[in-house]
Amino acid sequence: MASIGPTAPTNLTVGREQSRDLALPSAGAGYGSYGSAKGGRELSLALIWRVLVEWRWLILAAIGVGVAGAVLVTLLTPLKYRSTATIELTPPEVEVISGEGSKGGRQTSAMRDTNFIGTQLGLLNSRALAERVAQDLNLASDPTIAGKSGDRTANTKVAANAVQNGTKVKLRPQSQLVDINFVARDPQLAARVVNGITDAYVSTNLERRYASSSYARDFLQRQIVNTRRDLEKSERELTAYAQKQGLITTGSTETGGDTNSLTGSTLVALNGALATTQAKRIAAEQRYREAVLGGATTEGSENAAPLRGQIAALDAEYQQKLQTFRPDYPDMVALRARIDALKSSVISETRTAKSDRVGTLRQEYQAAQGEENRLRAQVAGLSSSVLDQRGRRIQYTILQRDVDTNRSLYDALLQRYKEIGVASGIGTAVASVVDRGQVPGGAFSPNLYLNLIIGAALGLVAGILAAIALEFINDTIKTPDDVRDKMQLPFLGGIPNAKQAKPIEELKDTLSPVTEAYLSTATALQFVAEGGAPKTLLMTSTRPAEGKSTSAWALAQSFTRLGKTVLLIDADMRRPAFVTGKDEVGLSHILTNASSLSEHVLRTEVEGLWIMPAGTVPPSPPELIASARFASLLADAAATFDHVVIDGPPILGLADSPLLSTMVQATLMVVGSGRTRTRAVVEAQNRLRTAGAHVIGAILTRYQAQASYGYGYGYGYGQKNTEYRYVADSNDKKRRIMLNTSHEE
């Protein structure tokens, strides 16, 4: 840089680049695919959180609208009062036919049965019950329910509809209790109607039960008449048959067999007598045989007993004396003779008694045997009569069984008829009132707190859905992730909004966030290639008013803070951004004549920063850029300065930036956060890549980082769907960067 030097530092005034009316093509027309960028977005937690943070005011507004709507609904909703009555359901038990051990005749309606529960709940909500309540309470005459119509029938229907629609029935879990609720605008009416419902329901069940008992009695009475007729008929048939066959029945009719007839009874009696006689004959025969074969009888033994006693006494005396005397002693011989005589007497007595006893037993045995033979003959004769009668009693038995069956059925029906007659008006009712409805002390609806919660919840949901919908409709580049995912480019920096109206004034403060952001971007450019930051760098954007010119100036200034010499070329010869006040100096002039580089380079007030303005607006800027003169100029500038930063025009609709991108080492995209649609950005990238440009990354301007999340955005887009135009207009002075420069010495 020995050949170029400023005469004096100049004051620099940079105005904030303003948006102008553009005519970009619509996002969905003529762009084709997104190129290498991703076309869809995934709904992740990070995206949802970012949407909530960005659209928080919209969500809060939706919640406010929901709360306001809840308050309005609460104020407009009429007061409603609810009265509750509780009844207990008890399963009824009705027996049509019952008997000991019977199982099929008992019909029980169990409370646990879901069919029974559903039936009772349906009856509580039935149209018939509502009409009865309306009639019992004379609701047809109440103008608050039935209106002022004079038709009684129509009023009753309207009142029944009101009762049915206002009644809510709910079964308590794990119980037999049912809560009946009625809602009305009058608390007194609510209590009156709910109590009328319970009373009408209980009365209806009692009437239905009485009707059921009455039906059972009528049914049983008809059955009793029929059964009595059948019983009488069967008894007459049985009697007629017995008379015809000469059958005489004895004993109970429940006892079966041949013993019920007279002949059978006689045979049984004779057979019993025969058995007794036979037993006596056997006993007599046994005694007779024992007497013939055995020893002395009992009678003989009793008569000889004294003699045996004397023999024993004499024998004892003989034995005693034998110790003193010899057997041939006269006293001893006499004593022996007496003992022998007594023994002979005993033998004779025993023989006489035995003979008499045998004769007696023989007579008894012969008498018993004769009686047995006589009875046996009679039994044999009656047996043939009984066998003949058995064949004739078969039909009698059949008729007797029919009589017994009819009699049992008749007795059972008569007994059940008596039971129903006694128990028809007593027993456990199907339903009983536990708690009657009380007059409510206050309205239950509308519930302000519940409505506020519902309104706030609906507003929150609507706000979130609207925010997500707007997020997907507003398909713009907003965050570093969008740069990486949608543009498929490295993110080199995020530039926040300037606090001052003119960004150049804020750039003079080295500690401002804007200055630090651009310095961070310049530092990041040092690492995009092995040789450091690109020697020649093109700054371009998709559309105007994205902060491209300000970013070019700020990056050039940041390079000077790194100790570099920088030339800033304003290559936007259609709408120049840098105004120096010297119309004869600029890029368009050096490209149309043989002037040297130093004649069109001006030194700024920033040390190490030179600028080449755009000059006079030429008729065809692309022809000048595509000329060999521009390539030679760019090579000369790259050899003279450390870095050459070119502020190019927007890409869409113009050929300038694609031509410039082919002549520089690198191109940097400037994207306004939340202002540029993704399709437009991707189409711009495709044009640059088609031209062969080397796009090294992108920066986001007007970027708002959120400390709680890491980054954020807050800008929409405002382009109009009109024909694209890019020409100077009367507002250019508001967006131009005013420079005070001087020629080099």
- Relative to beta strand 177-184, strand 643-647 is unpaired
Among 611, 525, 616, 513, CA closest to 562:
525
Q: State the average pLDDT for the chain.
A: 75
Rounded to 5 degrees, what angle do the CA atoms 530, 521, 573 make? 95
pLDDT band at 206 (very low <50, low <70, confident <90, very high): confident
Predicted confidence (pLDDT) at residue 609 exceeds the cutoff of 80: yes
Rounded to 5 degrees, what angle do the CA atoms 695, 696, 700 make? 95
Q: Are 196 and 142 in contact (CB under 8 A)?
A: no
What pLDDT does residue 254 have? 47
CA 136 – CA 216 distance, rounded (Å): 29
Count the Cβ atoms, other than its own, within 10 Å of residue 410: 19
CA 392 – CA 242 distance, rounded (Å): 9
Q: Are 227 and 410 in contact (CB under 8 A)?
A: yes
What pLDDT does residue 85 have? 92
Predicted confidence (pLDDT) at residue 66 exceeds the cutoff of 60: yes
Q: What's CA 479's distance to the chain center, in Å?
A: 41
Predicted confidence (pLDDT) at residue 724 exceeds the cutoff of 60: no
Q: What is the largest CA-CA distance in the chain?
A: 213
Q: Which residue has the higher pLDDT, 33 or 341?
A: 341
CA 62 – CA 48 distance, rounded (Å): 17
Predicted confidence (pLDDT) at residue 360 exceeds the cutoff of 70: yes
Q: Average pLDDT for residues 659-666, to the nearest whole number?
A: 90
What pLDDT does residue 567 have? 93
Sheet (strand 737-739) strand order: 12-14, 737-739, 578-579
pLDDT band at 7 (very low <50, low <70, confident <90, very high): very low
CA 718 – CA 720 distance, rounded (Å): 6
Q: What is the pLDDT of residues 528-556, one digit of tens each?
A: 877 788 989 998 988 888 888 888 898 88
Predicted confidence (pLDDT) at residue 420 exceeds the cutoff of 70: no
One-letter amino acid for residue 340 of the chain: D
What pLDDT does residue 370 have? 75
Identify the bridge partners of residue 88 per DSSP, sorted by sequence position: 177, 432
What pLDDT does residue 151 have? 76
Question: Which helix (H) or strand (E) segment is 398 a member of?
Answer: helix 394-423
Say how many residues make up the chain.
Answer: 745
**Token pair 């928080």 is at which residue?**
56
**Most confident listed range (144-148, 254-258, 347-351):** 144-148
Q: Average pLDDT for residues 241-268, to the nearest whole number?
A: 60
What pLDDT does residue 715 have? 34
Q: Average pLDDT for residues 642-647, to the nearest whole number?
A: 92
Q: Are 66 and 460 in contact (CB under 8 A)?
A: yes
| 434 Cβ contact list (under 8 Å, min separation 6) | 86, 87, 88, 177
Q: What is the pLDDT of residues 368-399, one digit of tens each?
A: 777 777 777 767 766 666 666 666 667 777 77
Cα torsion 610, 616, 620, 626 to 10°: value is -20
What pLDDT does residue 483 have? 85
Q: At what angle do helices 127-136 and 152-166 cross, to 10 degrees?
A: 120
CA 512 – CA 474 distance, rounded (Å): 31
Q: Average pLDDT for residues 171-193, to the nearest whole number?
A: 89
What pLDDT does residue 720 have? 37
3-state secondary structure 175-233: CCEEEEEEEECCHHHHHHHHHHHHHHHHHHHHHHHHHHHHHHHHHHHHHHHHHHHHHHH
CA 542 – CA 25 distance, rounded (Å): 12
Predicted confidence (pLDDT) at residue 88 exceeds the cutoff of 90: no
Q: Average pLDDT for residues 132-156, to the nearest whole number?
A: 81
